[in-house]
């Protein structure tokens, strides 16, 4: 039995068709991330699951039960929104205990459950503070404790780490993941941050314009997306127009506008088909121009961008097509890649090349 199921959900807000036929099944204890551009319908999906929006068509089931006619407060859903929304006039304990109070859990029982939830987020020692006396990360954790204390069937997180700086965010991501796994709560998390989605979730659903374009395990979605649109949305990619030049049992040869040929093992396209090939910068390797060969591309360096441990080298093919390669500091020095306008050879890892029809 899935922890959460949406079947054929359609939502119109005013005249706008905001959710278009959403099907989503989340296993018990699974964490699914919704990822997509601003306005694609992520928050609307969460609000529909929570019961604040009633879909005009389709069904939402939580823990195997239909939610039809169930108001939000009867759905046993824990919610965390981006702005934490703690009650400013209540202490940390009162904030966390609010949901229990609404359920008429009082006295010692409430106190115990609040303390347990605060211990989970490691903030028990701050139980008597006011929200204004907490840092952003601490407030975030209190909001999480407040959602968890009611022992929800489902945890819905809308950009829960959006307001935190990178370092705190990384730390909270790890904590959140550990907590979610430990408690085994079925979770849907919305985020703008791809890295967050890829690192937190068991599966990621990429949404465009009210529809789920693809759902899958992070590694599959990132390495072998089913469409160019998903590939381009997730991370960085180089896009090249190619023609299927020769087909044989062992694969095919693709050629670009330049005189280079790439031998691939898998190609389902017809001979002479015009296709789009996409490859990640980390699978695009820089060689000295002396190693230019039939299976490499000639390019010119434009700029080196330091990204901590890695260096992204922006290049241009002779027809102007931009292409990014990843390198490290020692190669940058050895090949003198800091120099702009340097001629180099690029090798695209044929096993990592993704081919899409035009």
Q: Which of 8, 23, 39, 178 binds ligand ATP (CB under 6 A)?
A: 39
Residue 51: helix, strand or coil by DSSP? coil
Q: How far apart are CA 206 and CA 230, in angstroms?
A: 7
| Paired sense of beta strands 354-357 and 274-279, if any | antiparallel
Cβ neighbours of residue 115 closer than 8 Å, sequence gap 6 or more? 124, 127
314 CB-contact burial (10 Å; exposed 0-12 / middle 13-18 / buried 19+): middle
Q: Between 43 and 354, whose beta carbon lies closer to ligand ATP? A: 43
CB of 201 to ligand ATP, least distance (A): 16
User: What is the radius of gyration, based on Cα positions, of the chain?
Assistant: 25
Q: Which of 6, 24, 40, 279 binds ligand ATP (CB under 6 A)?
A: 40
Q: How far apart are CA 306 and CA 93, in angstroms?
A: 45
Q: Between 16 and 151, whose beta carbon lies closer to ligand ATP? A: 16
Q: How far apart are CA 328 and CA 311, in angstroms?
A: 5
206 in contact with ligand ATP (CB under 6 A): no
Q: Between 39 and 322, whose beta carbon lies closer to ligand ATP? A: 39
Q: Which of 44, 93, 237, 327 binds ligand ATP (CB under 6 A)?
A: 44
Q: Which of 5, 26, 30, 42 binds ligand ATP (CB under 6 A)?
A: 42
Among candidate residues 294, 286, 292, 336, the one with its CA nearest the CA of residue 315: 286
CB of 10 to ligand ATP, least distance (A): 13
Return the C-alpha torsion angle 124, 125, 126, 129, nearest 10: 120
CB of 18 to ligand ATP, least distance (A): 4
Q: Between 154 and 207, whose beta carbon lies closer to ligand ATP? A: 207
Q: Between 85 and 124, whose beta carbon lies closer to ligand ATP? A: 85
Chain residues 243-262 in contact with ligand ATP, contact rule CB under 6 A? none
CB of 315 to ligand ATP, least distance (A): 32
CB of 42 to Mg ion, least distance (A): 5
CB neighbours (10 Å) of residue 239? 15
Q: List the single partner that 67 binds among ligand ATP, Mg ion, none, CB under 5 to 8 Å by kind.
A: none
64 in contact with ligand ATP (CB under 6 A): no
Q: Where are the alpha helices (DSSP H) in 81-193?
A: 92-102, 107-120, 136-148, 166-183
82 in contact with Mg ion (CB under 5 A): no
Q: List the single partner that 354 binds among ligand ATP, Mg ion, none, CB under 5 to 8 Å by kind.
A: none
Q: Between 38 and 259, whose beta carbon lies closer to ligand ATP? A: 38
Cβ neighbours of residue 320 closer than 8 Å, sequence gap 6 or more? none
Chain residues 29-48 in contact with Mg ion, contact rule CB under 5 A? 43
Cβ neighbours of residue 322 closer than 8 Å, sequence gap 6 or more? 238, 302, 314, 315, 316
Q: Which of 14, 107, 308, 309 binds ligand ATP (CB under 6 A)?
A: 14
Residue 274: helix, strand or coil by DSSP? strand
Specify the DSSP class assigned to residue 351. G
Q: Which stretch binds ligand ATP (CB under 6 A): 33-41, 62-70, 91-99, 143-151?
A: 33-41
Q: Which stretch binds ligand ATP (CB under 6 A): 41-49, 115-123, 231-239, 347-355?
A: 41-49
Q: How far apart are CA 19 and CA 234, in angstroms?
A: 21
237 in contact with Mg ion (CB under 5 A): no
DSSP-derived secondary structure for 284-297: EEEEEGGG--TTSE
Residues lying near ligand ATP in the complex (CB under 6 A): 13-14, 16, 18, 36, 38-44, 192
Residues lying near Mg ion in the complex (CB under 5 A): 43
């Amino acid at each position: 039995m899935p922890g959460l199921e949406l079947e054929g959900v359609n939502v119109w807000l005013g005249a706008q068709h905001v959710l278009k036929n959403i099907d989503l099944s989340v296993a018990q204890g699974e964490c699914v991330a919704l990822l997509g551009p601003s306005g694609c319908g992520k928050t609307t999906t969460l609000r529909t699951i929570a019961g604040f929006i009633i879909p005009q068509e389709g069904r939402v089931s939580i823990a195997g039960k239909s939610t039809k006619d169930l108001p939000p407060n009867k759905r046993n859903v824990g919610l965390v929104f981006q702005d934490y929304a703690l009650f400013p006039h209540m202490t940390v304990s009162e904030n966390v205990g609010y949901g229990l109070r609404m359920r008429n859990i009082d006295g010692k029982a409430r106190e115990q459950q609040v303390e347990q939830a605060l211990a989970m987020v490691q903030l028990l020692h701050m139980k008597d503070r006011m929200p204004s006396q907490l840092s952003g990360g601490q407030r975030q954790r209190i909001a999480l404790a407040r959602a968890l204390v009611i022992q929800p069937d489902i945890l819905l997180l809308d950009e829960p780490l959006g307001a935190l700086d990178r370092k705190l965010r990384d730390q909270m991501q790890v904590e959140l993941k550990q907590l979610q796994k430990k408690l085994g709560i079925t979770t849907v998390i919305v985020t703008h941050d791809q890295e967050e989605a890829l690192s937190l979730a068991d599966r990621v659903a990429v949404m465009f314009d009210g529809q789920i374009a693809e759902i899958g395990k992070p590694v599959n979605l990132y390495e072998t997306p089913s469409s160019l649109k998903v590939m381009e949305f997730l991370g960085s990619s180089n896009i090249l127009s190619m023609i299927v030049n020769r087909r044989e049992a062992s694969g095919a040869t693709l050629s670009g506008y330049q005189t280079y040929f790439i031998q691939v093992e898998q190609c389902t396209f017809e001979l002479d088909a015009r296709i789009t090939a996409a490859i990640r910068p980390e699978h695009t390797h820089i060689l000295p121009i002396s190693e230019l060969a039939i299976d490499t591309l000639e390019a010119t360096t434009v700029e080196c961008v330091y990204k901590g441990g890695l260096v992204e080298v922006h290049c241009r093919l002779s027809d102007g097509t931009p292409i990014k390669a990843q390198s490290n500091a020692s190669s940058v020095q050895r090949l003198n890649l800091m120099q702009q306008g340097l001629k180099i050879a690029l090798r695209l890892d044929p096993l990592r090349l993704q081919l899409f029809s035009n």
